[in-house]
Structures are given as structure tokens and as C-alpha cells.
Chain A
């Protein structure tokens, strides 16, 4: 076998050194009646694996070969060649959690830089080394809030938070006896601020609002923050399209105590939904309750700057059932990708990507809005994604367009049965005007 470097002669010598006659003897502690080989096909060569995977991959629409407008939490943004190629380096790819700082300074410094980028983008003081993805990041943010605001059992969530995030919150909360109350959106597509304020009470530990929200509408973090703080709860800002952080108000500057969500947009390919990149940032007064890994700056024995994992007394390998989270492995390589991406684009590029994405979305929103039969139902300002109402059920319409190489949007009927004519359209810097005109023309034809 090509991945097994032990020669027959070495194996014989090793067995002699161990003092057994065969490798089988080493498995004596497994009861004989449960020993059974796997019924799998014969091994494939690299050539055959490429062929098999190539055939499977060819049966998926991909953003590089289509006019592509899908979003709803996963976005098709530019990933630089330098970032992708860097991820192939074995020193990044094949190392693990930097438990031993003296031989892991590369990973540790990169995480420290990633933490800094997330702080700059969110306007908060502290960011962790990453979490799995957006939905579980929201759960971690809420559980962190519940620990900080003790004795309360309720979270107030905007109903315009990504539906899969809300479903994930329900899964985690059910076992812990916590409740989540949802506040609907108004006619502008933003969370109704009065309803939000009314839903927060003395049992509320957190108020969570997403911006841009699931319908693409830019929310004012301030309405969530003031509602939360009026009752002593924490304000949680949820971001599913992290590119927006370069253009829209930073959560930390508009009263949010915790920001969390999905940073896939910052240099991570879509990967059919994973691996992506969860993040969580908070104010320094709450840092001892932050879940997940943290890297800190320190010194080595000779006084040089060095980095290491820190505050590990919060973590499961020390605290066991009293840990702040059960998370262990996180999304290290994706955090590296985001660090490279943010560093490469920097101050100017992050903003330019955001501005282009927004301008293109505004263009295609206006053009679709002018197309006979189509309507833009929400009046609120949007960033790079918006809801369209079609003259017919959206899912079959979108399937027809997909077969023509236009991935026009995501139907809301997947989550909202009553909105079967509505769908989400997203634009990024990757879209050309020609593609957008083609989308608009195709929608016009089917109307």
C-alpha cells in the first residue's frame, strides 16, 4: 500500500522485537466474535480516484462556469491565488492545534493576526481563533451571554436571522432548558424595533440581530443594543456576510457586546457549505467567558516576542463538564485563509470588494424591479442581497434557469412555505454586468 512504509522485512523484525508471532496477535483483546473485515471494493489508484471524483464533481453546478447569484449565508467572493496556494504548504496543512508553542509559532502568529483582523472589522476588543461556522457561533455567543447574565433563561432573536442559525439555536437550547423568542420584521424587511423592545424582559439574557439580515436588509445594530441594555441583557450582533463589515457600521461601535457569525466570505471557497469559518468577538470585560481557542502574545526564555494558546482554563480539556464550550478542533486552516485574504486586501481592498458587491447588487435589484411581473417586496436598504417576488412559484423557475447555466437565487420556500414566490438574489465583485443583464433578461422571458 502506497501510504504504508513498512517493508515485510521490517515487519518481521518489529514483530520479533515486540515478541509476538504475527500482527493478528496484537488484536487479541478484541473479542473474536466481533472481528470482521470490511466489505469494500478493491483499492483505487490515484488515476481512478481522480476519475471517480471528476465524474461526481462534473454533476454539480459551479460558480466558475455559471452566472451565479446564490447567497443566503454562503457567498461567491474572490479567493486569491496566493492564499489558496499557501494552504498547500505542509507546514500549514499537516500540523495540528499548537499545543507546543516552540514548534508552532507560525500557526500561533497567524491566529493572533486573524484575531486582530476580526477585532478591526467588528470594532470589538477580543476575537477567538475561530469556531465551526455561523450557526454554532451564534449558539456559542448566546451561551456565553447566558453565563455572563446569570439566572436568566430567554434569548430574543430577530426572525430575520438566518433560519438555519435559528434552527441550530433551538437544537442546543432544547436540552439546556433555555428559550428563544423570535421578533418579526416590518414592511421594510428590518426587525421591528418596537416589537423587539417589547419582547425583552427581566428574564432575557441576550438580544440577537443579524445584519445584513437574512433578507439582505441592513439593520441598525443600535436597535438591538438599546433593547438589550434597557433590561440588562447583552447585545449579540450576527453577521453572515462578513464582507459587509468593511462598509457597514461596526457592531462594536453601535453598542453590540458580542459579534459572531460566518466569515466564509473572507477568502474561503464555498465548499458546498463547509468547511467555512465561524467567528466570535467580544468586549474585553467579557473575555474570560469567550469560548474556543485564544492566542496571546508573550515572551520566550530569551525575552523575544512569542505566541501561545492562553486562558485554556476555560476549555474542555481542563475544565471538562464545567468548560465554556465543548469545542476542541476548530477551523484553523480557514482562519489562515481569512488572515491571508484580509492581509492581502487590507484597508483598501476589503472596502473595495464591499463597495463593488453593493453597487452590483443595487444595479441588478433596480433592473429586476423594473422587469414586468417582478417586485422587490422590502423597502429597507440592502447590502449585496435582496428578496425578489416572482409572478410564479420561485423554486421551479429557479430550477429552469439553473439548467440554462443561470443560478439566479435561493427560493425562500425552503424555510417559509408561505413565501413560495419569493427568492434571494446575491451579487458580489465576481459578477459582471453582462451576467446580470443575462439574469434580468432570462427572468423577463419566463414572466
Chain B
């Protein structure tokens, strides 16, 4: 008993009215023999086990025995150890951590969506099919492209789907080609996705502006290149202002221009990728269209394509008949096939359509707000933190720790110290082309006072780096746990709890 009392205790700091929970035992350690947290209706049919004994298992040794009370407490306490967007600015660059409208959660739980089955007969699934069809039409309008597949489960799967469609289109003409060009500023998922689509990756060096160098592209763009994968705006938050020339160079050699649309939130409703010469583009519903990030998913990664790539879309597509009814078209002979089961992360479609409907024809204000806020943060921190690339900033700005590292303080330390000021850190150490990167994406749902407080905190940390680097190097000081030993975790792998034997 004494052990349990000790584990349940909280560390009380005297200056806090409500002590933060600092430690919560594992749910397995809360177990007590004979405790039950659920009840089921009595079995109303004869109890029987009609499976041979050699195909059965013994009881699940080590599984929990807890009550609902303990479940509610445990998961509430654990939740309080997390930082969340509802608490304050969460400027994790490239991840687009913005407010998640609450009505979206409510409508996604309507029984007609949450308790609907993907294999129910078509005539009793018309609402779901229409919703998918309407989301597709809406994304076509926003991208200026011909069709959209909603199937990919996340951005990375969208990338794979997009490159597989490119591959199928080249194969149809007799040669899949061998190589995909990817700038050195790209997300790590781009080269990984190209590899899983069977391509070699050739990395293109960015120019001094931080964008693609047309001479480098022209030299690399041969008839062996299937596609250029370009993040627009790129991971430095810089728009490829020569996008039209880039598209011309790629198309002249018969290649496709793939756009990683993870950063679509910076120009949605302002400009259309289709008009830029982009042939294929994935979007992250959990970024641009604000479906919640859920501690690491679920996401959704729809892919929009030009007319030329429509035959290769994953199966099935959602189609509308002349009488206005909807159906799934599985009969698509040139399709790349499936990337997953059923129609995709449908629950995310509901939320995204709800989000877009609430902006309607004012959706461009999302981009305008995001770009305004990023530029405001840039103005507030310029001169305090080093800015390697000073081309115009879109939705995010990438500073570095160059000045602070002279005092022995690095991006990681600055990130940790920011937690003490009540903010989530920016993305650090990415993009790789900026050494010691601090990638800041405030998003459009942040008001000026919040941005001012963030800028003030960053300036204060910069001052500490010069005057009292120790306090930064030992940060964080106020979080539920102090700096976590990640090297130790990898060296001595403990990946699960084990029952005491």
C-alpha cells in the first residue's frame, strides 16, 4: 500500500493554488484484483465457445482491472501534462496548429456519420457519399484542379498516391522514368514517398534566396525525371516566385509538377495551384482545414490532380448519376488501385467540410491572417535572431540560433526555455538547410497580444542567452518533467510495461 500512496502523490509547489499533477502511474500499475470498470447486458443467447481448444488463448495476463473512476482520473491527469492549442500559441512550424472549431467535433459525432458503415448498401449511404462528393468539388474549386481523391490517410500517403499516379501516367506511355527531383528544403516525407513509389531521389540545392535555382533545375530536368516535388511555399515559408517558369521547365521535358500542399494554408482562397502549372498536389486536412491534430493524427491527405492524371486516381471514386444519386465507381481500369481500406478518413471529411462552409467565400482570410501574423513575428524578432533567408515570408518564418550559439546555447535549449514562458516551442532543427533552425508558424487564429507575448518571450530568452545562458541550458524549469533524456531512451530501450513475473 505504501508504494501506491507514494505514486499517487503530487509534487506541490508552494506558489501554485492548484498543484499541477507531476506524475501519474501507468494504468497497469493502478490495477487491483477483482475491480471492474464496465458492465454488459446479460448474455441473451446460450453461452458457447465453438472454437477448438488449440485455437484459444488463456486469460490476458497483465491486463488491467480498474474502475471507471480510475479511468476518468487517470486520463484527465495525463491530459494535464500536455500542452494544447486551446491553452496558448503553438507555433510548431509546418504543422499549422490553429484553433479547431468545436462544432466540427459535434457534427462528426452525429450517428449518421460516426455509426455509419462503409459497406452499407449505397441507397442507405447517400448522405455520406454526397458529403465526400461535395468536399471533392470544394477542394477542386480551391485548387483549380480537375479531380480529388480523398482516400489517403495523411499527407505522406497523399504524396505516395500522387507520385504513384505520376508513375502510372508515365508507364502508360511506355516508360515510368527513374528519378524524382526534390529540393533540399523539402519535408522528409517527400524523399521517403518517392522512394516507396520506386524512384531514385535527386536533391536540388536551393539558391541564396532560399528557392529553387532555375539553372540547377534546367540542368537536372531530363527525360529521365518523372516529376519535381516542390513544397509551395517551401519549408522556409518562401513562395517560389518563379513557379510559372519552373512549371514550364518541368513540362517541357514531359515531367509532372508535384506540389506538397502542406503549406496551402498560406494561399488558400488567394491563388489557385492549378493556374500555376501544378499537376498534382496533396493537402493536409489537419493543417489547412483545421481538423484536430489529436496528439499525432488522424490526418487526411486528399490529392488533387489535373485532367491528365484523372484516369489514375485511386479506386473507388465517388460519382453522381444524372438523377442526383451518388455511387462508388470501382470500375477504373487505369487506377493505381487502393492505398487503404474504404473511402478514407471520413470523419475528417466531415470536419473539413464544416470548417470550409463556415468560411465560405471568405476562406482567403485564412491565408491573409496567417501571412500577416508570420510577418509580424518576423518583424518582432528580426535582428534578435538570425534570419538566413530574408526573402518575403508567407505563413512561417525560419530563424536560427546562430547568434545564440556563440554563447553556447542552441535551438533545442531555446525551445525548452520557451516552455517556461508558457508557449509550445517552434519546430527546431528543420528545415535542414538552416543550421539550428527555429521554424515559427503562428497561424491566423492568434491575436496580436498573444503574438506580442511570444515575441517578448523570445527576446527575453535571447537576452538570457547573452547574460545568463545557464538558465536556458538547464531549461525547462516549470514543466511536469525536466529535460528528458532522449539519448538514454534510445540506448536502453523500454517500449512497454511488463507484468512482474
Contacts and interface: CB of A to CB of B under 8 A. Distances in A.
Do A and B truly interact? yes
A358 B50 CA distance: 8
A307 B47 CA distance: 43
B493 interface: yes
Contacts of B297: 130, 275, 329-334
Contact of B196 (A28, A59, A176, A436): A176
A326 B158 CA distance: 11
7 contacts: A3-B444, A17-B376, A33-B275, A82-B68, A135-B341, A171-B337, A327-B154
B95 interface: yes
Given A269-B114, A271-B345, A326-B156, 8 more contacts: A92-B295, A103-B479, A105-B81, A274-B298, A326-B193, A343-B64, A407-B117, A432-B44
A389 interface: no
A52 B135 CA distance: 13
Nearest to A103: B83
A30 B81 contact: no
A181 interface: no
A446 interface: no
B23 interface: yes
A328 interface: yes
A94 B341 contact: no
A128 to B, nearest CB: 9
Report, as a range, how many residues of chain A touch the other chain: 35 or more
A316 B192 contact: yes
Contacts of B339: 135-136, 168, 171-172
Interface stretch (A192-200, A202-210, A231-239, A243-251): A243-251
Given A129-B296, A308-B484, A323-B188, A109 B489 contact: no
Interface in A124-148: 125-127, 129-130, 132-136
B99 interface: yes
A107 interface: yes
3 shortest interchain CB distances as A-B pairs: A57-B112, A273-B342, A333-B294
A346 interface: yes
Contacts of B23: 304-305
Interface in B56-98: 56-57, 59-66, 68, 71-72, 74-76, 78-87, 90, 92, 95, 97-98
Given A95-B295, A402-B121, A43 B362 contact: yes
Interface residues of B, number: 204
A286 to B, nearest CB: 12
A2 B284 CA distance: 22
Interface in A305-329: 305-313, 315-323, 325-329
A377 interface: no
A151 to B, nearest CB: 18
Interface in A424-443: 429, 432-433, 436
> For A104, A319, A395, which residue has the most chain B Cβ atoms within 10 angstroms?
A104
A86 B75 contact: yes
B305 to A, nearest CB: 16
B219 interface: no
> For A57, A125, A331, which residue has the most chain B Cβ atoms within 10 angstroms?
A57
A183 interface: no
